[in-house]
Amino acid sequence: MASPVRAAVQDIKRLRTISSVLTRHGFSAVARRAGLGRFLGESSTLRGDDGFEGDESVEALIGPDRSEAAVRFRRVLEDLGPTFVKLGQVLSTRPDLVPKEFLDELRKLQDAVSPMPMETIRRQVESSLGQTLEEAYASFEEKPLAAASIGQVHRATLHDGTSVVVKVQRLGIGEQIRADLDLLYYLARFLEATVEEIELYSPTAIVQEFERAILAELDFRQEAKHVQEFGKNFAEVDAVSVPFVYDELTRAEVMTMEFVQAGKLADIEGGSELAETVLHNLLDAMVKMVLYDGFFHGDPHPGNIMVREDGALIFIDFGLVGRLSSRQQDDLIGLILNVLTGDVDAIARALLEMGDPVGRVNLREFRSDVERVRDKYISATVGDFDVSQFIQEVMDAAQYHRIRLNPNYAVLVKTAATIEGIMRRLKPDMDVMAIGLPYARDLALKKYSAKKLAQSALSAAVGVSSFVTKVPQQLDQVLMDLEGGNLTVTVRNESLDQLGEVLNTLGTRLFLGVIASGLAVVAAMLLRPFDREIFGVSVLLIIGILAALSATTLFWWSLGWHVAASRKGKKLRLGPLMRLMRRD
């Protein structure tokens, strides 16, 4: 383990690199606002070549052209390496937080890295499995099938002749990612403390979400569990499958899976008979994943879906997945049905229930924005109806009104946009409504089935029964307390609470001031026999005046500080400062 001094030196070097990269790509205002200017030997002010002096708005930090700024931001992440590339990929799944221009660029991020040498691969596999490469595999190809920032994939053969693929984690990538996470927490907290507009985006929460995602991706055993759970959910579905995972040859840094002999989804010709089969299999799989299982693939791009000759699908790479609770599934089904029926009030209510408002929401304005988006797309022709764009604009409306949606919904939006793009390539003249209506009918039956309604009625009945049973007992207790004089009504008012604290402190300080004055008088009387004069002025008088001035200054300074802190409703706390460079 590195010493604290060495770790601090490495962090400073990394911060210098981050600041240099931000400045090189035109984000010097962001670097200065985040306090990184000092690492380039600059002052902490916002004056710089960008011309945005003292302006805290987002436009001042990134520039007036968001499309051009998005390109620069993508290049920043690519230059900063694997951790930041992964951060960009996670942000690309958050249309509720990231503007569309940035989403389009972040989705272009690729893990363009050079492959690890065979000696490193051997050392990693053998240290993880606890056996030599030859003991674990009958053969192991040196040339990787693919290389990414977290790991790379090699073809291999087991001793029984089975063809497998082995995913090997990059050596030392875990330590680098954890060090970068510390810096990301520092930068996020600094931005939250200095940029008022960034509150809605909650950088610290984004870093926390990213930390969970990337640390889970660092443990291949977690991905193996995802593959097995998905396979179990689709065990009865012949048209969808996943590779078999060999648990005995899977560890945190190494995962061994069945080699799948199938074609690429990207190679299928659009409009063909095979494309039609794949399209329906894909849509069936997504509906089952999201609205029935509540567990779905978070990154189903064409590279992560393989196709057999009969149109059956094989999903791979489960590093990113999403989950929805039964309540979230019901809310989502309700939202879909409300969109199809065009009920604006129901759509607005559903979005509010699915989200977490940050502050007060003007319901009339929010409803008006939802209606505007609905009218824009309902009036479009069937072929021009863009589902992903519709969802994006609804998300933008929610974001504008400071409604923060659950991260799982955000992953789902990204997944839906990816699937729609694949489906439109498979069938360019796709009629979204015609394809979606049969599924909508099934969803309506699922939501409003007799069994579901009976369960809801039973749950409501149990709740009402509990309420009716408890109310008489609680009412008796209230009447007994009232009769016995034990009923107390407490009124809370923050201003009154603070006033009492201020008066208490003022009284204490005035009392101490009186005591100090009395002690000063007594001290002067006791020391008078030893008094001397300088230029005809009593030494005790000079000392007394200086002491009085010092005491008065200290008193008024402490009083002013206390009143200011009381008006803000907060006290000075050193704990947050000490935790600034540490993850929770």
The tens digit of pLDDT for each residue in 32-82 reads: 665 565 555 554 443 444 444 444 455 555 555 678 888 888 888 888 877
pLDDT exceeds 70 at position 337:
yes
Side by side, which strands form the sheet with 240-241? 240-241, 313-315, 305-307, 263-264
Lowest mean pLDDT segment, chosen from 139-143, 164-168, 214-218, 252-256: 214-218
Question: Average pLDDT for residues 212-240, to the nearest whole number?
Answer: 92
Which of 144-153, 187-196, 285-294, 374-383 tops mean pLDDT?
285-294
pLDDT at site 1: 45
Tokens representing 425?
């390539």
pLDDT at 575: 43
* Residue 200: per-residue pLDDT: 58
- pLDDT at position 566: 46
pLDDT for 243 equals 95
Task: Fill in the amino acid letter for 148.
Answer: A
Position 203, amino acid: P
pLDDT, tens digit, 9 for 90 and up, residues 557-576 = 555 555 454 444 444 444 44
Give the pLDDT score at 579.
Answer: 47
User: Is 140 strand, coil or helix?
Assistant: strand
Which position has the token pair 């010092």? 550
Q: Which stretches of 25-172 are DSSP H helices?
A: 28-33, 58-62, 66-80, 82-91, 100-106, 118-129, 133-136
CA 161 to chain centroid: 44
Q: What is the pLDDT of residue 581?
A: 44
Which tokens go with 119?
């000696």
Which is nearest to 188 in space by CA: 97, 99, 250, 255? 97
Which band of pLDDT confidence, cut at 50, 70 and 90, is reported for residue 211? confident
Predicted local confidence at residue 576, as pLDDT: 44
Identify the CA nearest to 264 among candidates 297, 303, 238.
303
Q: What is the pLDDT of residues 359-391, one digit of tens each?
A: 778 888 888 988 888 887 765 544 556 677 777
Q: What is the average pLDDT across 530-557?
A: 62
Residue 146, strand partner residues: 153
Three-class SS state of 322: strand
- Determine which of 319-333, 452-466, 492-506 has the lowest per-residue pLDDT on average: 452-466
**How many C-beta neighbours within 10 Å does residue 35 have?**
17
With contact defined as beta carbons under 8 Å apart, do 250 and 406 qualify?
Answer: no
CA-CA distances (angstroms) from residue 158 to 21, 69, 134, 221, 223? Answer: 45, 49, 10, 20, 21
At residue 430, does pLDDT exceed 90? no
Per-residue pLDDT tens digits for 121-133: 999 999 999 999 9
Longest dimension (CA), the chain: 115
Task: Give percent of the chain with pLDDT exceeding 90.
Answer: 21
Confidence of residue 310 (pLDDT cuts 50, 70, 90): very high
CA dist., res. 439 & res. 284, Å (int): 9
**Which two three-digit tokens encode residue 332?**
């989502």
Average model confidence (pLDDT) for the chain? 76
